[in-house]
Amino acid sequence: MLCAFCWTLIVWIMPGCTDNFDEYNTNKTQLMELSDTDLGGLFSKSLGSQFENINYSRGKGTISDHLSGYFTSTFTIYEQNTINTGWITRIWATYYTSALPALVAILDLTKEKNPVAYSVAMIWKCYMMQRVTDYWGPVPYTDAASGKAVTQFESQKDIYYNMFQDLASAVQILEEKLQKEPNLNVFGAADMMYNGDVSKWIRFANTLRLRMAIRISNVDPDKAKQEAEAAVAGDLIESNNDNAMLKTTQITSGGNGLSNMWAYFQNIMSASMESLLKGYDDPRVGIYFNKVDAANIAPSFPDQVKGNAGGYHGMSNGFESVYAAFLKAHSLVGDRWKDDNWNITPIDYIHAAETCFLKAEGAWRGWNMGGSAQQFYEKGIELSLKQWRSDLSDGSIRNYINSTLTPVAPDNYPYYDPPMTDIPVKFSGDREKQYEQIITQKWISIYPESMEAWAEYRRTRLPKLYAKKYSGNGNILLSKNMIITRVPYPDSEKNSQPEEVAKAVEMLGGPDLESTPLWWDVHQNGN
């Protein structure tokens, strides 16, 4: 009783005015404003908010992981080309309302007073935005995460041109600063990629510029050549020490999302992978995939898959639903990505091998890359083998490079396809075959970065992956050799700014469907 009386009294003794209102209305668990000390935290956030960390299954697992041909997804309906519009809204938000706002906050804070942080943030923005535009096509780049009432979409060409420029100026600023201060560091430990080493960010930027140049080589060859040669004039990711790999050891939630796929048994070896890796007797197979675990094979499985135990076996992309029951009799993604390793195994963004294959393609196109296509091709293979198998002797690497083995017919019940293609590893004299070899070996070396692999597959239609066996999507007709070539716009964007999305569709040059090719993809898709 006393208690309630006391309260009544206290209430009326309390200052009967509004002096404390602003204090009451202050959020104690949030920051009210940002300062320079928050730059690191913002950068970590923008690094750690990719599909590799969050939304892996939605953003990669059910899209690029199987469309790239690396994996067959055990998530049947998505493997059969279904698009989940609700998930698209989620993955769009991964970039635009999670990773990019943190990055744009850095750009806003540092534009005037910290050009080094600004430039590194800009390089990372270009990397993320390339992934975004290569999924959807025209997207907001300049206005991205700007908080403006209307966020303008830009054509993919404009985005590429803007990014070339932004990368060039960032590299220029950083090189100047680095000359004055050779050990220049930014963001320190918060930079989970390069630990703040600015020189490595320059390499990253130039490699990205080269990658972008190659991407537009079919649609805008002059600009491509110009940008590629400019990029190669600077430092690139040339050694495996420079690889762009995001450390996950201090991440407490997020981490390497591919580990979740291991846990869910969602990503298994594709038949295309089986044909290539087994055919080439590729030393990377044991890293990339697991042998089939006999414990996963139920007594009721048909004899044709029972024999898979202990070997590497892939499943055909687009398998028919009825075979979903036997997926456990196939090779799961490698132990490097097993579930416990989500905060151990780093996330792969760019490997040095890719730089070589990009240069090889440039040289093959006749651009000045500082060497021959074969030179870069073989260097690329060597770097990739050393990256994944440091135990390999130089001899066995040389044997692989000179191998004339060709892909084999996969043991893929019930389809039993022929070998995927007939090219060996050994560099061919035939120009067409050379091109196929460069792209095919690049495809193997980029693994498991399926977003890049899918983009390159759409650009080159290489490697010659097996077509999907079944499509549950009426927009993707297998009879017309159609493939999914982009991701449709999210409902969230269509609902909130329909006019801008309408303009974007116009810039896209086709309907907002998963079958419309992007600007740099010059292939007809079924029409």
Partner 1 sequence: MKLFLIMRLSIILFFAFVFAVQAESFSQSSNLKLDLSKTRLIDVLDEIEEQTDYYFYFNVNLDNYRVDRVKAENKDIREVLDLMLPDLGLDYEIVDRYIVIKQAGEKSPEHSVNFSMQQRINVSGKVTDLSGDPIPGATVTIKGMNRGTITNTDGSYSLTNVPGNAILVFSFVGMKSQEASVSGRTALNVILEEETIGVKEVVVTALGIERNKRTLSYATQQVDMTELTTVRDASLGASLSGKLAGVNILTSSGTTGVGGASRIIIRGDRSIVGNNQPLIVVDGIPYSNSGGINFSRKSSTDGFSDVNPDDVESINVLKGPSASALYGSDANNGVIIITTKKGKSGMKKVELNSIMTVDDFYLFPDFQNEYGQGAGSMFIPNSEYSWGPRMTGQKVTDWTGKETMLTPQPDNMKDFFVNGYNFTNTLSYTMGTEKTTTYFSYSNTSARSVIETDRLQKHNFNLRLNTELIPKLKLDFKITYLNHKLVNSPERGDSYFSTMHQLVRMPRSLRTEDLKVFEYFTPEGSRKQNFWNLGSTSMQNPYWAMYRSIVPATKNRVDIFSTLRYDLADWLYIQLRGGADFLFNDGENKVYWDAPYINSGYGDYQTQFNKNQNLNGDFLIGINKSFSDNLFSLNATLGGEIKDSKYRGQTSTANGLSSENKFALNYAKTPGTSDSESRIQRQSLYGMVQLGLRNYLFIDFTARNDWNSTLPSPYDYFYPSVGMTGIISDMVHLPELFSFVKVRGSYAEVGAGANFANIFQTFGRTVNGPVGYVYPNTTKMPTDLIPERSKSWEAGAELKFLDDRLAVDFTWYKSNTFNQLMLVGVAPSSGYNESWINAGNIQNKGVEVVISATPLKKRELLWKTNLNFSRNKNKVIKLANNMEKYQIGSAELSIGETWAIAGKPYGELYTKGFVRNEAGQIIVDGIGMPKIMTSADLYLGNFNHDWTSGFYNSFTYKNWELSFLVDLNYGGVRQSSTESQMLFHGTSKASLYGREEGLIVPGVKENGSPNDIVVTAEAYSQLLGGRAGSNAGEVFNHKATNSRLREFALGYVVPVKSRLIKSLVVSAVGRNLFYFYNGCGWFDPESTYDTNVNGQGGESASLPGCRTLGFNLKVTF
Looking at the Cβ atoms of 150 and 522, the one nearer to partner 1 is 150
Give the whole-angstrom CA distance, residue 527 versus residue 514. Answer: 14
Task: Tell me the closest approach of the beta carbon of residue 166 to partner 1, in angstroms.
Answer: 18
Which among 50, 157, 173 has a CA at the least distance from the CA of 520? 157
Cα–chain-centroid distance for residue 107?
Answer: 23
Unique residue bearing structure tokens 């390793």: 341
Looking at the Cβ atoms of 139 and 171, the one nearer to partner 1 is 139
Backbone torsion region of residue 319, taken as left when φ is above 0, otherwise alpha when ψ lies between -120 and 50, otherwise beta: beta
Looking at the Cβ atoms of 233 and 477, the one nearer to partner 1 is 477
Q: What are phi and psi of 350, to 5 degrees?
A: -135, 130
Looking at the Cβ atoms of 303 and 391, the one nearer to partner 1 is 303
Give the whole-angstrom CA distance, residue 354 versus residue 505. Answer: 32
Neighbouring CB atoms inside 10 A of 73's CB total 28
Task: Tell me the closest approach of the beta carbon of residue 487 to partner 1, in angstroms.
Answer: 13
Looking at the Cβ atoms of 189 and 233, the one nearer to partner 1 is 189
Task: Tell me the closest approach of the beta carbon of residue 37 to partner 1, in angstroms.
Answer: 9
Task: Tell me the closest approach of the beta carbon of residue 230 to partner 1, in angstroms.
Answer: 30
Looking at the Cβ atoms of 387 and 473, the one nearer to partner 1 is 473
Task: Tell me the closest approach of the beta carbon of residue 169 to partner 1, in angstroms.
Answer: 23
Kindly give, in sequence order, each residue whose CB lies less than 8 Å from that of residue 513, ignoring residues fewer than 6 positions away: 475, 488
Q: Which residues pair with 315 in a beta bridge?
A: 270
Task: Tell me the closest approach of the beta carbon of residue 38 to partner 1, in angstroms.
Answer: 5
Looking at the Cβ atoms of 92 and 164, the one nearer to partner 1 is 92
HEC string of 394-450 equals HHHHHHHHCCCCCCCCCCCCCCCCCCCCCCCCCCCCCHHHHHHHHHHHHHHHHCCCH
Unique residue bearing structure tokens 């009294």: 9
Task: Tell me the closest approach of the beta carbon of residue 135 to partner 1, in angstroms.
Answer: 13
Looking at the Cβ atoms of 135 and 400, the one nearer to partner 1 is 135
Token output for 426: 């050994």
Give the whole-angstrom CA distance, residue 488 versus residue 259. Answer: 27
Task: Tell me the closest approach of the beta carbon of residue 138 to partner 1, in angstroms.
Answer: 11
Task: Tell me the closest approach of the beta carbon of residue 349 to partner 1, in angstroms.
Answer: 16
Neighbouring CB atoms inside 10 A of 61's CB total 25
> Distance of CA 60 to CAs 135, 346, 463, Å?
11, 17, 19
Looking at the Cβ atoms of 340 and 430, the one nearer to partner 1 is 340
Task: Tell me the closest approach of the beta carbon of residue 6 to partner 1, in angstroms.
Answer: 8
DSSP states of 201-270 as a string? HHHHHHHHHHHHHHHTTTT-HHHHHHHHHHHHTS----SGGG-EEE--TT-SSS--THHHHHHHT-EEEB
Task: Tell me the closest approach of the beta carbon of residue 25 to partner 1, in angstroms.
Answer: 5
Contact 510, 517 (CB under 8 A): yes
Looking at the Cβ atoms of 417 and 514, the one nearer to partner 1 is 514
Give the whole-angstrom CA distance, residue 75 versus residue 81. Answer: 11
Looking at the Cβ atoms of 148 and 398, the one nearer to partner 1 is 148
Cα–chain-centroid distance for residue 102?
Answer: 19
